[in-house]
Structure 1
């Protein structure tokens, strides 16, 4: 963790002495010289920080050293930022600009001398820390050679042994998955296959695998079996040695003495020889990385005896790769359902297996935090068995202070160790990204896009050639998901992640770790101001505003978040001494009515969110925020931005719109905002939604073509006369992934027939307005997965032009066609999963030919008043899971009742629903 702080500081040290700042450093106070010395010392120590970060878990001396390095990095970063603030003003070019810079130089001389003195003091401390580093160096070398984790590894091995000896009463909901896995092991006698059990730590992978391994049928079916624990603290040679020992024992032969002296290649050859002609089952428990599997797999012959390898892993990438390479299977373990969780909890806590009525609410609250994780349920139960059932406050204390219990209760140490293993195994660049999740409250759904933008603004993302910071951050997120440290909650129809979350126990652990490393401070209802650190870096205020002492300083604060705060209070009241170094200000859903004027002084601000506030106007001083990258005003009342917004040359994400539900028309309409015509000057923009383009004679539309970095673009109030200019601009946006266009009114035609070179990376296209014809280029988009056409009122069947879009997954058509018949041809929409047909006023008949829409899973038809029957051929859609009929004719609904003439057509669909719009709701 200290490494990320040092890396950020080194980047600042590398870029701070340029142009006029370089001159100032030479002339005043020797700032540059001290900074160069500091950079040299930190670069030397950085080489060992990665190793030290892992070693500090078991070595207190190393932990203290890492803390000292981290604190110095933070202090130096603050000093450098204060130095930068002295020269934040734009002095212009030429002689006048030079004179202004010199004047500023003289005025700030005293401050520069002070900063140089502070850096000199820090350098003195760094030299002292370097002496300690030399003394600790032998520990780092041992750790890098793999010799420094013996105690950790042994403890973990012993603990895993406990998982194999669980009492039968702890095994809940295991019967069905066990039978499924046994079936997979027996099915097919062809070559070697791999069955992977994947899931987060503590979910019961080892326990389930052991039940399968010990099953009498499995023991009888496989001639040779071996169970080998593979984890990050064991060398590959030890794993192979253990496997050889077990295999000789399984075939009842004495282990040759020569085995003890074999190298890895010889061990692999021996294993292969022993297994070549036998049907075997090898369990590889606790595989963390693909290289561990690669080390072992070549020793396991791919014979035709029906042999199997079963592995447990927290890493879904390991499971997916082994499945693909071996044509195997993946079993993803899920949390225990609520009823079974409650039964297990009561059985472990209460002798009579029944919870006393006065404790039930508290116990259910505690159990809810376990979220179906078996290890969490069993270990928290062991804590509660010591509590007196008559002392309700003792139980309530556990429910309210779970984090403190995990930190201080010896009975929960093993649970903490199991969950922390996944964190400790993270590469250095992912650890701060994961700790960052501690800012979010309990049960909060974390929006993917929000998290990615925050990571980027905080400087937690490393630069990679050929990728934007957002793309690298997206890779980081998927890596955390692969490692079972986060779970996906909601996705789009085409598989994009919308929201995710972390397990409550993991959240409590990383809150504790964040506090310990001064990474994040969380202030909740129970918190008291005395717990605040003097040099607090990130502050997450949750549910209620804290009582702040008048002299409380948060001058070094870098990020401020508010979650669920409904009390009205101004920033000066909360933080009377300010925070000039702030990078992130997230006031999402706060009770704000006016734009906070205090923001004008936040030169370093990169991320500003006033989403879902009541702010109506943005002041002109917004142009002073030269480093702003994200401005999120979505769902606020802002409908116009000042011309000064064009000064924000680093702005990457500009979100200013509201989604309005239009009566019973069953879809949202986006209200955009007005912006200065020269929007093309914001060359760094990646997301721009939604701007009104019916102004300034098409200047804005022409300017859009200059935004070559755009990934997502939203336009409203488009006119027909602007079609040609818009096509010209879109053709220049080669990185565009999502495009949303709305006409100025329902009857206004959207004219996009002039686009000769469409953006081939386009994935999502939304068009709201009249069309003379389906734009010819849509069918040629190879990456288009979602298409929405509303108010198109086409005279020709649009399906003819759309059916061959190669990767279309979701299609929404609302008032898109004025004909009486739609026909889905046999060779069309081969990857479509979701189809919505809404408000086809003339439609009387829908035909689905056999072979059309083979992958369709959900079909929604609504407000088609003349449609007399369900689609003819709907019976061919064998993968259809949901059929929704909304506000449809009564006569049609009668045909699919159990006694209706068309009931047989929909009898294969698991879910058929019917709704009507009455009195303003469905």
Structure 2
């Protein structure tokens, strides 16, 4: 990674040479010399990065180059910091220029001294460079290779990891075994064999979901606390019921949480998956909350340790390494995209495969590295095989896999290496938010600019390349198919963590007795910040400071002390998400070079006007804080790209005032770099503010709250100028206020997501021209005309939700309409009595949700044509509709008999009762349970 450090430095050297910086005599020549020498050695460093693990002398040399590059970067940043500190505004006259030169004399003398010392070190280190084999040209070619148009075909499907058809059937049979007592099934084996993959395939099977309506998946790790495990399980069980978890869980102790879980599960057949159980005590603590309710409930464990299996007298399922033929089939499928191996490569490929030892993760990882290579030059493939060293039989399989995955890492271009190493800063149990990661990578300087693309688009491509190479896994996707969260596989993470520590890329502080490196540039603090301040031998030259799961109390949290130290003055990234903060730390405004600031999920209430001093700030994340107003000075942050300020007051998508945004009196139109602006409240000075928004032509996402009817024309004019807009979210000031956005003659053609909450006098016809729309949420529209007419021809629409949208009695889905729709939600359409689905309509629909449509008593006509439908969920729908769908006795059961899961949910006796069609007859019909006579928190189906 010395090449990476040098590349970052060269960008700063370019600035120092090109800008009109008043350096002392001779310094510019020294800078030019250092620049030229490091540029000349970049190709050599590329080769050295991939060979240093096999050559101790080379490794020491690479480390020295890395340290020199960092020292030079520090010198430039400290000099630049002094310039920013002294320069208040522009230098308007010759007198000011002279005065500025006097003020910065000390800074110029300091950088001159530093650079002269660094130049001497560069001369010495380059003279003592070890002999490196002539592989620079081939290495350069490898590192510059990029995925071609077949890249999307290399995206890893979970089912590709192992040949799991037979194991899946065996495991499913254990779940369906006719035993009323609660059974525990343990899947165990070495990491990387596919334990989680197998469990996930079974868990996601529609037949399994149908049998176990109450289900939850809980990820465990060695660093997670039992309290967090139990809270996570409570939250997920409430999500299944479609009901927010009670706010009181934050104050419950472990015993109270266990009792709550037990009560939630007592009346239902359930399936709970505990992924990666690492010791017996964890299982012992959790199992007491899982009742043996004699309803055929099941618990699945995945674990690497046999003693977990021995501790539980249940069923065990041991995964073995892949047999040779299955391993070869997987290797070819992933390396050659389903084609057979070319004959001239078969011998070398089988030799490579042999080193994988039948470990699925290792096979997929090396396949990802090989898939981008040319097929004609056998020498390239033989180099890969030889780079493993001599074949050692009988070694531990983990060591073989480490060699494979290390090669996958070494094959990465330097910018992807930086991105992968950066993942080591996140806790092991942490599902990494995709957009958060993108913003962090940009702030760190890991993302190179490309013509015609934003930095965010380039960073997104980087992460997709890591997915293509099977080095990153998707944890969760949005309903329209976008990546929501991601993570690394556990064993790959171990290797990346080792490389991060070895190269001093990042320091993770989570243990009291950890061994600290001599220097720290990126610091991730997990659980507590106390041990950071105990270090007096470590040199802190921080560029990044991130904190996770900080358990310190507000009184003992030491961010003020940390921000006051000299070790943070060069910070680019400060991420304090979830930290116990109640006030904005005033020291932050002196971190002049800061690019990324997150106070998400803190209790901060206000932002000072002095934030204007952060001239280089690109992201200000205040989501789920108590900030409701921003100072006028925020408009001076001309480089700000992401301004995110909102919180949920009520966790219900059906409550009109569930979200709060922010007010600002600043000339928002001056912030020309903004790409995301949400959610701005426009009820005060709204007309002028709407005009200001029209200046923000770089906006990708815009969220507006409290809009008035009279401001519609001004907003329409501004939206026409937002040619880059991808997401538009507009909420009226009240649910009966009209949203007047009909007069848009040139709508943003790249718009993908549209959310409108408020009255619509008529349907905005410009919407049907948006061919890129994938998600449309309409709420409280109260239209008299059928809105489907304007939406059915949208070719890419995947998710459609209506809430009080239509007052008519019939919805008609025409043939060939909604060709890509996968999720349809209809809520509180009180007048709706009939739904007609013509053959050929919604042919991709997988999920249908209907809720609180009190007049809808007839089964949708033509629902039998939806051959891909997997799930139908009814919330508070009339009994007549549900009874008509019951097996054997329902007149319309034949229409849904091929749908794997059909459920009906009702509020009963203070809780949600969930019934499948087969069990609905057990429920006593009671008119007192009608939705019109009950008040309670509505289920949360989707949150915008």
**Is the 2:579–2:601 contact (alpha carbons within 8 Å) kept by the matching residues of 1?**
yes
Cα 1:667/1:60, change in 2 over 3 Å: farther
Mapping of residues 381-780 of structure 1, within 5 Å: 412-528=398-514, 531-547=515-531, 548-549=533-534, 551=536, 555-567=540-552, 568=554, 569-574=557-562, 577-578=565-566, 579-661=568-650, 665=654, 669-780=658-769
Q: Is 1:141 equivalent to 2:134 in the alignment?
A: yes
The equivalent residue for 1:102 is 98
Cα-to-partner distance string for 1:81-136 (whole Å, 9 max, x where unaligned): 1101121044444654x433422322332332222111101100000111123x52
CA-CA distance at 1:575 after TM superposition: 5.9
> Using the alignment, how far apart are the partners of 1:425 and 1:727 within structure 2?
50
Tell me what 2:376 maps to: 295
Contact between 1:202 and 1:415, CA under 8 Å: does it hold in 2? no
Cα distance in 2 for partners of 1:868, 1:111 equals 79
Matched, 1:910 2:903: no
Residue 279 of structure 1: aligned partner: none
1:335-379 superposed Cα distances (whole Å, 9 cap, x missing partner): xxxxxxxxxxxxxxxxxxxxxxxxxxxxxxxxxxxxxxxxxxxx9
For residues 801 and 287 of structure 1, do their structure 2 counterparts lie closer, same or farther at Cα, with a shift above 3 Å needed? closer
Summarize the Cα distance change of 1:87–1:490 in structure 2 as closer, same or farther, 3 Å threshold.
same
- Number of equivalent positions: 714
Pick the aligned partner of 1:48 from 44, 50, 58.
44
1:890 Cα deviation from its structure 2 partner: 2.4
Q: 1:784 to 1:513 in 2, by over 3 A?
A: same
CA distance in 1 between counterparts of 2:404 and 2:349 reads: 28
Cα offset, 1:668, TM superposition: 8.2
Shift of 1:631: 0.3
CA distance in 1, matches of 2:751, 2:424: 35
Query: 1:539 and 1:668, CA in 2 relative to 1: closer, same or farther beyond 3 A?
Result: farther
The residue matched to 2:849 in structure 1 has which SS? strand
Secondary structure of 1:499's match? strand
Distance 1:539 1:804, change over 3 A: same
- Note if 1:816 corresponds to 2:805: yes
Identify the residue that residue 64 of structure 1 maps to in structure 2: 60
- Write the distance in 1 (CA, Å) between the matches of 2:138 and 2:448: 27
Instruction: Give how far 1:230 is off.
Output: 8.8
User: In structure 2, do the counterparts of structure 1 residues 668 and 453 end up closer, same or farther at CA, with 3 Å as the change threshold?
Assistant: farther
1:562 Cα deviation from its structure 2 partner: 0.6
> Quick one: distance in 2 between partners of 1:503 and 1:663?
34
1:111 and 1:93 map into 2 onto residues whose CA distance is 19
In structure 1, C-alpha distance between the alignment counterparts of 2:427 and 2:570, rounded to whole Å: 24
How far off is 1:463 after superposition?
1.6
1:895 positional shift:
2.0
Secondary structure of 2:29's partner? Answer: helix
Q: Which whole-Å deviations, capped at 9, do the CAs of 1:835-863 have from their partners, x for residues lacking one?
A: 00001111112111222111111000001
The equivalent residue for 1:788 is: 777
Shift in CA distance, 202/293, structure 1 to aligned 2, threshold 3 Å: farther
Note closer, same or farther for the CA distance 1:442–1:288 as it changes in structure 2 (3 Å cut).
closer
Q: Gapped runs of 5+ residues in structure 2?
A: 143-161, 171-190, 198-319, 352-363, 385-391, 911-935, 940-944
Q: State the Cα distance separating 1:172 from its structure 2 match.
A: 9.7
Q: CA RMSD in A?
A: 3.5
Separation (CA, whole Å) in 2 of partners of 1:485 and 1:694: 47
Q: Deviations over 1:205-238 (max 9, x none)?
A: 99647235999xxxxxxxxxx999999xxxx999
Return the offset for 1:413: 2.6
**Distance in 2 (alpha carbons) for counterparts of 1:459 and 1:13:** 14
Partner of 2:11: 11
Name the CA distance, whole Å, in 1 between partners of 2:346 and 2:832: 72
SS of alignment partner, residue 760 of structure 1: coil
CA distance in 2 between partners of 1:807 and 1:411 (Å): 46
**C-alpha separation in 1, matches of 2:496 and 2:669:** 42
Post-superposition offset of 1:243: 8.9
- Alignment match, 1:210: 324
Q: What is the CA–CA distance in structure 1 between the aligned matches of 2:718 and 2:788, rounded to whole Å?
A: 28
- Do the aligned partners of residues 94 and 77 (structure 1) sit closer, same or farther apart at CA in structure 2, a change above 3 Å counting? closer
Report deviation, 1:483.
0.6
Cα distance per residue 1:889-910 (max 9 Å; x no partner): 2232222223222222221111
Alignment partner of 1:73 is 2:154: no
Match of 2:881 in 1: 892
What SS does structure 1 have at the residue aligned with 2:805? coil
Query: In 1, are the aligned partners of 2:365 and 2:404 still within 8 Å (CA)?
Result: no
SS at 1:556's partner residue? strand
Over 3 Å counting, the alpha-carbon distance change for 1:538 and 1:708 in structure 2 is same
Between the aligned partners of 2:343 and 2:425, the Cα distance in structure 1 is 41
Alignment of 1:149-298 (within 5 A): 175=166, 208=322, 210-212=324-326, 239=344, 242=347, 286=367, 288-290=369-371, 292=373, 294-295=375-376
Match of 1:397?
none
**Higher RCO (C-alpha 8 Å, min separation 6):** 2
Distance 1:668 1:872 in 2: 36
Q: Is the 2:44–2:136 Cα contact (8 Å) retained in structure 1?
A: no
Comparing 689-698 and 587-596, the one that deviates more = 689-698
- d(CA) in 1 for partners of 2:350, 2:627: 71
8 Å contact kept, 1:228–1:242: no
Distance 2:365 2:105 in 1: 66
Report Cα offsets for 1:257-299 as digits up to 9, x if no partner.
xxxxxxxxxxxxxxxxxxxxxxxxxx999574446464399xx
What is the distance in 1 between the residues matched to 2:138 and 2:851?
66
The 8 Å contact of residues 814 and 838 in structure 2, kept in 1 or not, is answered as yes
Deviation at 1:39, TM superposition (A): 1.1
1:245 positional shift: 13
Change (3 A) 1:227 1:50: closer
* TM-aligned CA deviation for residue 669 of structure 1: 3.5
1:852 matched residue in structure 2: 841
Tell me how far 1:722 sits from its aligned partner: 1.0
1:861 aligns with 2:850: yes
Matched residues in 2 for 1:113 and 1:664: separation?
Answer: 60
Alignment check: 8 A CA contact 1:677 1:700 kept: no
User: Is 1:111 matched up with 2:107?
Assistant: yes
CA contact (8 A) 1:618 1:638 kept: yes
Q: Is the 8 A contact 2:193 2:321 kept in 1?
A: no
Distance (whole Å) between structure 2 residues aligned to residue 244 and residue 471 of structure 1: 35
User: How many Å apart are 1:29 and its aligned residue?
Assistant: 5.8
Q: Which has the larger radius of gyration?
A: 1
CA contact (8 A) 1:174 1:208 kept: no
Query: What SS does structure 2 have at the residue aligned with 1:703?
Result: helix
The question of whether the paired residues in 1 share the 8 Å contact of 2:564 and 2:587 is answered with no
Deviation (angstroms), 1:176: 6.0
> Which of 114, 125, 129 in structure 2 is aligned with 1:129?
125
The CA deviation at 1:662 is: 5.8
**1:504: Cα distance to partner?**
1.5
Give the TM-score normalised by structure 1: 0.72
TM-score by length of structure 2 reads 0.71
